Every structure is written in C-alpha cells, then in structure tokens.
Chain A
C-alpha cells in the first residue's frame, strides 16, 4: 500500500474521528454502549474491511491501515468496538480454516451487519491461549459448549468467536449471541463500557460453526490477538497524543503566581518526559508493524514485537494520564473535564488483552536474550 493511500486514510479518519464528549458521556453505562449508526458509517468508509480481502467484501489494505484507523479512533475515544470486532474477531475468522464460514461471514463483518467479539479468556484472565474454562462435550451425539469465559470485550456483539477445549485440543467456534443456552453477563469497566462473562449451557455447535479446528486454532487465535494488541497500542497512542496536547495547552494558559505554569522548569521537564514516553510508544508501534508485515516474520518475532509495543503503550499511556491529572490539578479529577474520559479509557485499553507487566513477561519469553 502506498504512502499516499495511508496518508489519505489518516486524513479521512482524522476528519471523521473528532472527540464528541457529549456522546461519549451519554453512552457510558448503556447497553450496548455504542451506536449501530456510527458503526455503519465506519463500514461505509470501508474501515471495517481494511483487513478483509477484496474478494470477501473488504479492501485488503493490511494491518498498517487498520492501525491508522485505530489510532484516530483512540484520539476521539470512540466507544465503537473497532479493535475488538474489525481486528480481533475478524482476524481470528480470517485465519481459521473454515472457508465456507469466511465466505458467508466476512462480507457481513465488512458491511457492518455483524459485530463480533472474541471470547477466549478464563476466570482469571492472562495470556495463556488454553486458559478458557469452556469445553466441547458430546451430548447425545452432538458437540456442545459447556462452561464459561470472561473478559469478552463487547456484550453488545451479535456473535462471539469462542475458544473451547476439546479432546483434540483448542478449537474456535462461531456462536451467535442469541443462541439458547448462552448467557451474557456484562461487567462494568472503568470507562463506562462493559466486558462480558459468557456462560454456556449445552450450546450446540457443529463442523459448520467451527472457525478453526485444533490443528490451526492456536495459530489463528494468537495471530488475531497479536494484531489486536497492535490495534490497542494504536488506540493508546492516539489517546496519548490528545492527553499530551491537552496538558501542554493547559500548561501554556493556566496562570498562577502571575505566570503561565508551563514556564516552570519542574513542570517543563515532566512534560518532556511525557513527550518522550509518547515518542517511544510511537516508535515501538511503527517498528512492530514493520516487523509483523515483514516477509519472513516468525510467530515468535511477531509475538515479541506485539507484546513489546503493547507493554510500552500501556505503561506510557498510564504514566501520561497520571502526570496529566497531576498537572491539571483538581479540575482534572472532575468528571465534567474531558481528561477523565481519556484517563478511564487508558485504564481499560492498558488492561485489555494483557497489561504492561503481562506483556513484558511474554516479550521476555519470546525475545532472544541480549
């Protein structure tokens, strides 16, 4: 994809995604917490299909394009589940082994008709792929899902791609939310969104609903998660841009002791450290994308790059938000001031799919020793 295409995409995404703080506040604590109309607008611009091949209804622009969109959505705190559905779930389906299912569902994901979530984690979360407490069992000759998952990102999804353990190993299945026997319990998150705990009681599945059989499920899930980690890092990067800009503007205009507080060296140097953290995150993400999109990238290299970028983005974003709050003083701690929206979103994105500590540990296990 040419630099021009990327630039145009960035410009159009930036135009579309401006912060509507009234909307963000209004949607907090609601079900599903985002707007289908906005989702359809995003589909109309082709964003939901940037990762989907052209012959399956997408644009096939690749990961770099998806991250540009994620970054702009992060800037504007969009509650629509772009990274969850258009990246994580879409990638899991796409890299699964069920051609018929892809042919049927990918166009619907690209068009925005369907929103999907990825459900793979167990009660305590973490990064292990086979942690889920969901089992594939036989009931009267029919395979059924029994058990539960947690931390599925969107209770409002139309369907979930779930990871379940079978005798053969881990499998991925497509399960519509409306299926009998599936209960979806939301858990409120810091930013007013919710994640879902899913309980399955003998939910029947079949070979047709199987996104990936045991032979390919782990690889498909890990790839989807690694790409989603980069999308989350891109959202955090966009968020950091805004938090830093907001803070710098405040430092330039807030007057105390007869001077703009941004003229005080103690605050200037801390602002520089915020800037450095943002730049480290940007460089780490850019390099990770280059690694992941490289021709000879192994799964280990991809994982190390994605975990490294997420560890950096999560750590930096939280550091930036805390510093921004301190520099704003009491006004920053009020719900009516927009900084809090960024602050709470940073908490959610930093923890989603594993926090900085978890990803440092994964990086450590994947990257060669120096």
Chain B
C-alpha cells in the first residue's frame, strides 16, 4: 500500500519532471548546449508564481502562463546575449558558461530574496481524493494534468507549426537549414526561450507543492540528464516515460532508504545508465 501510494506520488511528480526535461533536451538536441542553469530557470518560474500569489493574490495555476511568458523572455534574452556567443565552442566552454550563469543567478536570487523557504498555499491545497486507503491531493492531480497539457502543447508546437519544424530542421542539419533560409540566430533564441518557458511552467507548478528557495533548482541537472538519456533526446513520449519512471524511483527510494536518498537515487541511476548502455548508442558516429 505504501508502495502504491509512493508509486502514484511518483507518477504525479513525473509530470513536472517531464516538462523540465523537455526544455532541457530541446536545447541539448538543437544547440548541443547542456544548460547547467536549467534548474535555476525552474526556480525563477517558481518565484514568479510565489510573488504573483503573495503580492497579487494570483492563483498559482493561473500564473503558469505568466511564469512561462516571463521565463520565455528571460531565456530569449539570455540566449541572444550570452549563449549565442559560444554555440560553436568546444563543449566544456558552454558548460562553464552555463555554470557561471547558474552561479550568478542563484546568488543574485539569494541576495535579493534570502535563503528562507517560501510556500504558496492556495485555499484548496488540503483538499484531496481518497480511495481505498490512497490519498491524492487534488492539487497534485491538477498539476499532473497541467503538465500533461503543457507537454502536449509542446509536442504540437514542435510538429505542427512552421517555427517548430524549422527548429527540428535546424536540429537535424544546421547547414541545410541555413541554406534553406532559416535564420539560425532567431531559431536558437526561440529554442532557448521555449526551453526556459518549459522550465518556468514546471517551476510554477512545483511552487504549489514544494518549498520555494533560490537553491531549489540544484538537484535538477542530474534528474533531467537521466530522463534525457533514458528517454532519448527529442522524444516527447520518451521524456514523459522517463519523467514518470524517475518520479517513481525517487518516491520508492524515499520509502525504502529514507528521504535523504531521494536525490542520490537519480545520480546513481544516471551513472548506471551511462555505464551500462551499449557504447554503440553513445559514441560518436563514425561517418
């Protein structure tokens, strides 16, 4: 029973993870940039929701589009100003850049908002669905639902709109896309913006169930990497499955080993997956 509850919690949590992972894998797949600061954008999204809630009384679910919009803008500008400069650089330079960015943003946030945990408590937070000994708060169900909607919208955007397809084309073959007239700089800006928007949306949802603080984004790098490696870059369904699998593993581990091991689980899993995957899937293609 405990495991079933944990399993359900895990799946519900997985929805948020999926949104975060979709954004991360988009930038990785299209721009070959691993954004170490991605978790920090999640944090920013959570803060937008928090401030909207405490200053304006805006219901957190309603601030999801707000967070997404704000983060889209932040992402677009960040890409235009910074990331753009290093897109063709060796990998470890972009890694250092995003690490520095992460450090900068987190510490600015710490300076501005202090390290205390904030929470968003809408009035309906305690309502839940009970069935057969299992308890599922409505908020969690709603969060899961919204994250699925966001993921679906993401998928539709990528596959059905012209811009989305331009992004996919850029991903598959940069030169060809350029030749066909795709404006790479703009595409990259949009890509990064969408990525941070996804992170922002996830952050907004996260704020409803988790405490908000400047350092909350830290654990996400390991998690999203695992989801991308498991689910495959560029696959929405893969991110969905990966997100839920991770969610379940984490809640399961918390039950078996204790809450302190939750983050360690994703790291160890990540290592195992990286090590055990047949090298043919990971190495560079020869020709």
Partners in one complex: no
A interface, CB within 8 angstroms of B: none
